[in-house]
Amino acid sequence: MRLTHLKLAGFKSFVDATTLHLHGQRVGVVGPNGCGKSNVMESIRWVLGESSAKEMRGDSMQDVIFNGSANRKAVSRGSVELIFDNSLGGTSGEWSQYAEISVKRVIERDKGSSYYINNTPVRRRDVADLFLGTGLGGRAYAIIGQNTISRIVEAKPEELRVFLEEAAGISKYKERRRETELRLRDTRENLNRVEDIRQEMDKQIVRLEAQAVVTQQYHQLQSALKHAHGQLWLLKKRDAGMAWEKTKFLVEKLVNSLESQMASLRKAESLLESLRQQNFAASEAVQAAQTQYYETNADVSNLEQQVKHTQEARERLNLQLQQIAAQSAKLDAQKLGLDESLAELMLKQAQAESDEQQATVALAALQADLPMLETAYAERQRNLAESQKALAETEQAIRLETTQLGYADRNMDELQHRLQRLQTDMQNLQLPDAADLESKRTELSGLRQQLSQLELQITETRAKEQQQAETIKTLRLKQQDEQRHAAQLEAQIHSLQKIQQSIGHEARMDEWLKQQGLHDAERLWQKLTIASGWETAMEAVLGARLNGILRTEALMTSGSRPAATVVLAEAAEAVSHSSAASPHKPLAAQIEQMAPEISGAVLDWLQGVYLLEDTSNVAEARKQLHPGEMLVSHEGDIYTRYSLTLFSPQSALHGVLERQRELEALQSALPKAQHAVSIVTDQLKQAEEGIQHLRQSLHEIQQNLRNIGQHEHQLTLDIQRLEQQLQHAMERKTAIAQELESIEAKIETASLHKKDLLARIEQANQGLPELKKVCEEAQQGRDREQNALNQARQSLQNAEHALQEMVFNKKLILNNINQINSNINSTHEEIQALKLRQKESVQMLDAAKMEGLKANLEQALLLKQQREAALAETRNQLSQAETALQDQERNRMQNEQMLHPLRDKLEQSRLVEQEARLHFEQCQSELAAIHLDEAVLAENLSTSTKVADIENKVGTLNQEIEALGPVNLAAIQELSSERERKQHLDSQSLDLNEAITTLEDAIRRIDKETRSRLQNTFDEANRHFAELFTLLFGGGQARLELLGEEILDTGMQVFAQPPGKKNSTIHLLSGGEKALTALALVFALFRLNPAPFCLMDEVDAPLDDSNTERFCNLVKKMSERTQFLFVSHNKITMEMAQQLIGVTMQESGVSRIVEVDIEAAMRMHDQVMA
């Protein structure tokens, strides 16, 4: 993938649309400081997704938009677009099918950035994914800015690892691992939430199961209560209807009385309205007379003002005529003086023209003599310049040769010193021990075998841990089921106990039992156990006696009476007695268990009660009954010889025996459930201890693995160090030998050059005196000619000055003449204007006459007096009409006051009638809200039934409902919904556990692949870094070292020692050495993972010429695989460019581009030379 075009518009100083065509592999960007070269580099970093405004040298990202200049307005939009040639399919993913890829970023003020790939809107992350692992992007090593060198040198170890990761191409692996970890964290959080919800739902289901039983009883009582409420509102509706009819009759009577009084009031109002019309007519007559009077008064005032204004105008015109006469006399005198001044200036003008002609003739003569003098002076000056030039060239040659001679001496000394130093280095060169290197290699092989065995043990231990985890998961699910079962049993027992304890406990009854000392006495149903299926039959026969109280003392015969029926049973055993033979089984035979102290009472009550097991032949069975005997069916229906009693479960005692049986069964099952919970808990504890033991073993194996891995890593570094030392020593020996040969040749060449310089200096010193003599003679001749020329120029200058004064004096006189002529014309125009004004004033004075205005004023005053008398007459008529109107108004008010008592009484009656109607409607609406048919409600009501009777019944039902306590009406629906939701959560929990296992396996695979790739990359980068460092410095050593055991998260440090230095840290190097070290590291990474292109912004600034040449040679070599785009002020760096792009700023604040193809320019030069 190769960069072919860069398009900018509105980005920083590139306000106009600009396109850079990048043809070569080495493209240089040149130009003066401040012209916008770095903006080109920053535009590429910005379009690749840079989000830091600091990296763009701004405070906010909007600073990259052109903000205006002295001649340009600010723009609101900036964009940068990169176009790549992808014909070789270098990219991956969905964009690999395109032969050309365009990446574009657009920013607008107050709207943020938007990204496009091939004109398709994408996210910033999509752009980053496109270049992931290529060395480009936010953390790229392929973009080397002005601060990158210092950033690499001063970077923290963790920051240096980022460059290694980018070179290894594991950015996509890290991104996948980060996404997998996020999904794993979310999955675990979801699993925890699901488990918490499941536990809460188990408790909720147990609670709802108990509440559902209470809810069913509540619905039964509510149905009875609803029927009672309906009967109550039906009675209230009947009473409210009768009261409403009475109030309506009273209201009709009061309405008739009020209408009679209203008729009298309307008659009085009619008469009042007639008088009001008369009063209105009189008022209009007064207004008309008053209007005429005001109009006449206004006319009189207008005439008086006209008379006054006419008099003032005549006085003003007379004064104006006097002023015009005075101004005319003044202007005539001024015109006479101007004519005299004009004649005097005409004489001066003629004299000035004569003087100007004489001065022009003298100036022409001086100008004709000046060229000859200038020619002679120029000839002398040319001779002097040639003599001085020859002398200066000779002296310069002597100085140059002398300087070169000094350089040659110093060069000879340096070469001799270098020769001695290299000879010393050759003698001191040492090679590492080969036996030590081989022993370390053998030890390394053994350590790697141990590592393989430990990794196999870790895999087996993790498999056992996973199996044990599955066992723990199964046991936990089993524990939750057992706990849920035990909790359900406890909740059902609690609910049944609460229902059983609430039987027979009413407020007034409990008070009476407390007075008798029987509040805590046991009930008979608590001491009975009936065969299954016959509980309802026993309830039908015994009824309220089931709730009887066992009393060991004598039965009470007198005293206070209870609020309801109470059965007291004496504690006594049954007495045997004979009974008539019967073909049916007795009901007492269905008693499975009974306390001896209640047997007397129970068997007494059941004497003569038999079972009706088959209802198909009821008539025959009844005929066999004796007096006092009865049959009872499973449904509780009681048959005697002459009657049938159908059983209906209306009492709170219904189901007490069945609930008691169920309660005993639940209480016997609860200990078994609790024991099962205990067993599963113990098994779970053992399994958890087992997995802890496995994890401890795994931790010990991993610790051993880390220790051996650390030893293996250190041994690998030692072997690499010994191998590098051996290689460097051999390379150093060869380099020293080559350099010794080169230095000896340079010493011989320098000696010959020194002899040649001495000969040239001697020859130049012999011809120097003769040149000095010729130069002095030329200087004297030039001075003589210069004095003559200066005198002639002074005379010419004086003549020109005199002529200029004469011309100026002539122009001044002419200007004065023109000014006087202009003043004369202006004075004549003013005289004509005064004459015109005088004529107009006389005409206006004749037009202003006073006689007609005074006659009109006298007629208006007479008309005003007549209309004033008419106004007084109409006002008297209006006063009489108002008096009659007031009398009739008092009469109407008296009639109206008589209506108020009637209206108040009517309103009170209507309120009573409305109250009765509202009460009736309320009863009707309440009755309709119950949704019961009135005919059904009225079946059990007689005409004598009172509202109080029904209210007592409602109170009894409310007490029974209150005895149930708080009731969750939605318990049944909630229970069904919660059970269904529990099933969904169980399924989700299983899916989440499977997802966690899958994600953990994926992370382990990613870590293994990443660790392998990163270690291989580190080893290769270390080797390339050492090679490039030696190449750039001509020796020395450099390496990368890891600071920790785990390569995935440890830091990396750079150690570099140029030739002849033993510095302990890279911070002790000079600026140029730091730059070369950083470049060696970056180019080492390029060898591993070449980026599509590399950007370098003035990275050669701290380098001298020799180091710059080494840098350029390395760039040329690497440009075979990577495209380089660099900014530089160094001529040596510019020479290696295949294409130069010049950035200029001819217009202040606006950058422009000038492109030069070096190869094309060289071809054109060769053609011209040919």
For residues 166-195, average pLDDT: 77
Indicate whether 962 belongs to any domain. no
Q: pLDDT per residue over 1001-1013, tens digit each?
A: 888 887 788 788 8
Final residue in a domain of this structure, among 619, 651, 683: 651
Q: Is residue 754 part of a domain?
A: no
Residue 130 buriedness (CB in 10 A; 0-12 / 13-18 / 19+): buried
CA–CA distance, 748 with 417 (Å, rounded to integer): 15
Read off the pLDDT band of 81 (50, 70, 90): very high
Contact present, 65 and 77 (Cβ < 8 Å): yes
Tokens of 958: 């409310």
Has residue 1099 been placed in a domain? Answer: yes
**Nearest C-alpha neighbor of 208 from the set 1064, 1065, 969, 1097:** 969
Exposure string for 574-587, b = 16+ CB within 10 A, e = fewer: beeeeeeeeebebb
pLDDT at 968 over 60: yes
Which of 629, 651, 673 is at the close of a domain?
651
* CA–CA gap between residue 876 and residue 864 (Å, rounded): 20
- Mean of the pLDDT values across residues 329-353? 76
Residue 679, in any domain of the structure? no
Residue 555 has pLDDT above 50, yes or no: no
- pTM equals 0.38
The SS3 assignment for 1072 reads helix
> Is pLDDT at 5 greater than 60 in this prediction?
yes
Least confident of 123-127, 545-549, 860-864: 545-549
- The rounded distance, in Å, linking the Cα atoms of 837 and 845 is 13
Confidence tier at 641 by pLDDT (50, 70, 90): confident
**Averaged over 699-726, what is the pLDDT?**
78
CA distances from 41 to 142, 144, 1120, 1128, 1134 (A): 12, 9, 21, 12, 17
What is the DSSP pairing of strand 638-639 with strand 143-144?
Answer: unpaired
**C-alpha to C-alpha distance for 814 and 808, rounded to whole angstroms:** 10
Considering only residues 104 and 175, tell me which one the structure prediction assigns the higher pLDDT. 104
Q: How many domains does the chain have?
A: 2
547 belongs to a structural domain: yes
CB under 8 Å to 437, separation ≥6 — which residues?
A: 719, 722, 723, 726
Whole-number Cα distances in Å, 937 to 940, 951, 960, 1015: 7, 15, 22, 93
- Strand, coil or helix: 108: strand
CATH classification of the domain holding 25: 3.40.50.300
Cα separation values, 592 from 93, 532, 830, 861, Å = 83, 9, 151, 138
Look up residue 866 and give its amino acid: Q
CA distance 593 to 599: 10
According to the model, what pLDDT value does residue 104 have? Answer: 94
Q: Is the residue at 872 inside a domain?
A: no
Task: Give CA separation, 928 vs 222, 265, 922, in Å.
Answer: 17, 47, 10
- Residue range 891-907: mean pLDDT, rounded: 75
> Distance between CA atoms of 107 and 708, rounded to whole angstroms?
54
Task: Dump pLDDT digits (tens) for 659-695.
Answer: 677 777 777 888 888 888 888 888 888 888 888 888 7
Please say which residue of 635, 651, 667 terminates a domain: 651
- Considering only CA atoms, which of 491, 525, 519, 515 is closest in space to residue 505? 519
pLDDT digits (tens, 9 = 90+) for 1098-1118: 888 888 888 888 889 888 888
In a 3-state reduction of DSSP, which class is residue 631? strand
On the question of pLDDT at 106 being above 90, the answer is yes
pLDDT 10s digits, 808-867: 777 787 877 877 777 777 777 777 777 777 777 777 766 656 666 667 777 777 777 777
Asked which of 310-319, 355-364, 411-420, 1099-1108 is least confident by mean pLDDT, the reply is 310-319
Residues 77/11, Cβ–Cβ less than 8 Å: no
DSSP 72: S
What pLDDT is recorded for position 558? 47
What is the predicted pLDDT for the residue at 103? Answer: 92
What is the extent of the structural domain holding 13?
1-140+1095-1107+1130-1170
Rounded CA-CA distance 1164/731 in Å is 44
419 inside domain: no
Q: What are the angstrom distances between the C-alpha of 913 and each of 235, 910, 919, 927?
A: 20, 5, 10, 21
Q: How long a stretch of residues is the chain?
A: 1170
Express as a percent the part of the chain with pLDDT over 70.
86
Residue, of 177 and 1084, whose pLDDT is higher: 1084
Q: Is the residue at 551 inside a domain? A: yes
Instruction: Give the position of tokens 């087992």.
Output: 690
DSSP symbols for 935-999: HHHTTT--TT--HHHHHHHHHHHHHHHHHT-S--TTHHHHHHHHHHHHHHHHHHHHHHHHHHHHH
C-alpha distances (whole Å) from 271 to each of 45, 91, 629, 900 are 102, 108, 100, 22
Q: What CA–CA distance (Å, rounded) separates 346 from 850? A: 59
913 near 194, Cβ under 8 Å?
no
**Cβ atoms of residues 529 and 244 within 8 Å:** no
Segment 797-806 shows an average pLDDT of 77
**pLDDT confidence bin for 11, thresholds 50/70/90:** very high
Of 808, 993, 930, 861, residue with least CA distance to 184: 993
Output the pLDDT for position 832. Answer: 79
Nearest to 229 by CA among 950, 820, 736: 950
**DSSP secondary structure code for residue 14 in this structure:** B
Per cent of the chain over pLDDT 90 is 3
Q: How far apart are CA 281 and CA 274, in angstroms?
A: 11
Radius of gyration of the chain (CA): 63
Report the DSSP pairing between strands 644-645 and 638-639: antiparallel
Q: pLDDT tens across 149-163, in order?
A: 767 767 777 777 777
The answer on pLDDT for 78 being more than 90 is yes
**CA-based angle 654:657:660, to the nearest 5?**
120
The whole-chain average pLDDT of the chain stands at 77
Alpha-carbon distance of 782 to 384, in angstroms, equals 7
